[in-house]
Structure 1
Amino acid sequence: MNLPAADESSHFPGLARVAALLADPGRAAMLWALMDGSARPAGELTMIAGLSPSAASGHLARLTDGGLLALDVRGRHRYYRIANPEIAAAIEAFMNVAHASNAITSQRPAPRPARTVPLEMRHARTCYDHMAGEVAVQVFERLVEGGLLVRDGDTLEATPEGAARLAAWGVDVAALRARRRRFACTCLDWSERRPHLGGALGAALLDSWTHGGWIERTSRPRVLRITPKGRHEFDALVGP
């Protein structure tokens, strides 16, 4: 039976266009460099991607026109960042797809992420504006198991006990719920293969723990350092 040709205007509009934007290695490198929630100038992204200035300019224009990047103009300087948290979540999801497809298509079993990801990145890193990695996964599981968060599919809600604990960490649950952004959701961790906490709540917790001296950002993109104070607090929460 002959099937009609796929018409992107009526079947998953925009999917092929977005996939094409992600398919180029140079553009993928630029996007991945911005997954720490930063805004970076074109020159820095050009070096990261290993492209000529003219080629990088064309790629950045395509990513911006395609809605994946947003442009911030600060005086004479132009900075690029991931357009919104939903785009960042999609890029993280594509990383999970890449791991899964590698396991399926490779003639040999795919290497475990723990052996292919630098230990410091696997331990604690940013996933756009929230925390990812081994510690983040353990914290998420403890929040759910301890009855502080209730999970319904990929959506989460804070219990009264959870709201009280979050308030002790300086997180205003009512204010987060009032935002247009999704309050809390799961985000599949590509190195641990288990979910960590995303959404507005995940971002608020990363801010709280950073300002509280539990976590420090490092010179390495996306890598977070757990401070001695943070190690004590996280051990008390999830166990040694």
Structure 2
Amino acid sequence: MTSPARTGEPDIARVAGLFANGTRARILMALAGGGSLPASVLAEHAGVTPQAASTQLNRLSRAGLITVRPSGRNRYYELADRRIAELMESLAALAPAQPVARTLRASSRSAALRRARVCYDHTAGLLGVTITEALLNSGALVPVGGTEPTADQTAESEHPYRLGPAAIPVLTGLGVPESHLADDQERPLLSFCLDWTEQRHHLAGRLGADLLDVFSTAGWITRAANTRALHLTSAGEDELARRLGMRSSGAAPAAHP
């Protein structure tokens, strides 16, 4: 998304204040999966009444962080820009952990998101990290500079890896068209998010989005309704082991958030 040129200093405090409310933060995290959700579902995710959720949704909408789409009697909300999802993931990686959820439903939802979730349009959680590590082990990705970056270096860089010598055979073997591997578009082919649950990088960028799209179309990964949680199917586990040499990610059990 290209933004018009601006003059003057950015008002960071004004934007940061929008994230400093627990209800708004939970709403934005729920929407970080890249889908559209109604206010009732967002209220449930935030743990507040529909009226309280509506107040915060209106504020986020006025600030331009979310958009609203009417559909019949419902209004569906989604993030205005994928960069907001990336920012939420980065903030989550820095934030201290909250107390473990006490209810079974909340605990199950949290565990499902840690196993596998969508980060706007690519795979995150343990599954996302495991896929990224399998791509490194296969030679489809290699460290920038030829040596594995230290933990401090990877934490500071969105581009710690580049395409390796095995990229074309490995990625086309997974179903990604070779024409999609050219780094000649506005959105970078490769970028990496520091995963907030695993504290390691997972693949993002156009390639991360392409892989999730390919895996979803093939039925290797499915998405639970009204949540960011993903599920690696038995077929997906078998195919990724065969084509990518990926060991089990622990993400195979079905989630019931």
Shared fold per TM-score greater than 0.5: yes
Greater CA deviation, 48-57 or 76-85? Answer: 48-57
Aligned to 2:255: none
2:121 is equivalent to residue 129 of structure 1: yes
- Residue 200 of structure 1 pairs with residue 192 of structure 2: no
Q: Which amino acid aligns with 1:134?
A: L
Aligned residue pair count: 219
Offset of 1:163 from its aligned partner? 2.4
Say if 2:172 is the partner of 1:167. Answer: yes
1:105-136 CA distance string (max 9 Å, x none) = xxxxx99xxx9984433222222211112222
Report % sequence identity.
Answer: 37
Gaps of 5+ in 2: 1-7, 101-106, 145-156, 249-257
2:38–2:76 Cα contact (<8 Å) kept = yes
Amino acid at match of 1:154: E
2: distance between equivalents of 1:158 and 1:173? Answer: 13
Q: Does the Cα contact within 8 Å between 2:118 and 2:228 map onto a contact in 1?
A: yes
With 57-66 and 202-211 compared, the bigger mean Cα shift is at 57-66
CA contact (8 A) 1:117 1:191 kept: no
Matched, 1:187 2:179: no
Superposed displacement of residue 196, structure 1 = 0.7
Report the counterpart of residue 135 of structure 2 in structure 1.
Answer: 143
The separation in 2 between residues aligned to 1:116 and 1:96, in whole angstroms, is: 20
Q: Show CA shifts across 1:29-59 (max 9, x none).
A: 2112112221012333234334455543332
Name 1:80's counterpart in structure 2: 77
Q: What amino acid does structure 2 have at the position aligned with 1:180? A: E
Instruction: In structure 2, give the amino acid aligned to 1:136.
Output: G
**Residues 138 and 170 of structure 2 are in contact (CA less than 8 Å); yes or no, is this contact kept in structure 1?**
no
Q: Cα deviation per residue 1:76-115 (whole Å; 9 max; x = unaligned)?
A: 643211122211010011111113xx69xxxxxx99xxx9
Q: Distance in 2 between matches of 1:165 and 1:145?
A: 11
The answer to whether 1:226 aligns with 2:232 is yes
Inter-partner Cα distance in structure 1 for 2:51 and 2:126:
39
SS of residue matched to 2:227:
coil
Structure 1 contact 95–190 (Cα < 8 Å) conserved: yes
CA contact (8 A) 1:187 1:195 kept: yes
Unpaired runs of 5+ in structure 1? 1-8, 104-109
- Give the TM-score normalised by the residue count of structure 2: 0.73
Partner SS for 2:95: helix
Q: TM-score, normalised by structure 1?
A: 0.78
For 2:195 and 2:56, how far apart are their aligned partners in 1?
A: 28
Aligned partner (choices 89, 94, 97) of residue 91 of structure 2: 94
Q: Distance in 2 between matches of 1:229 and 1:172?
A: 21
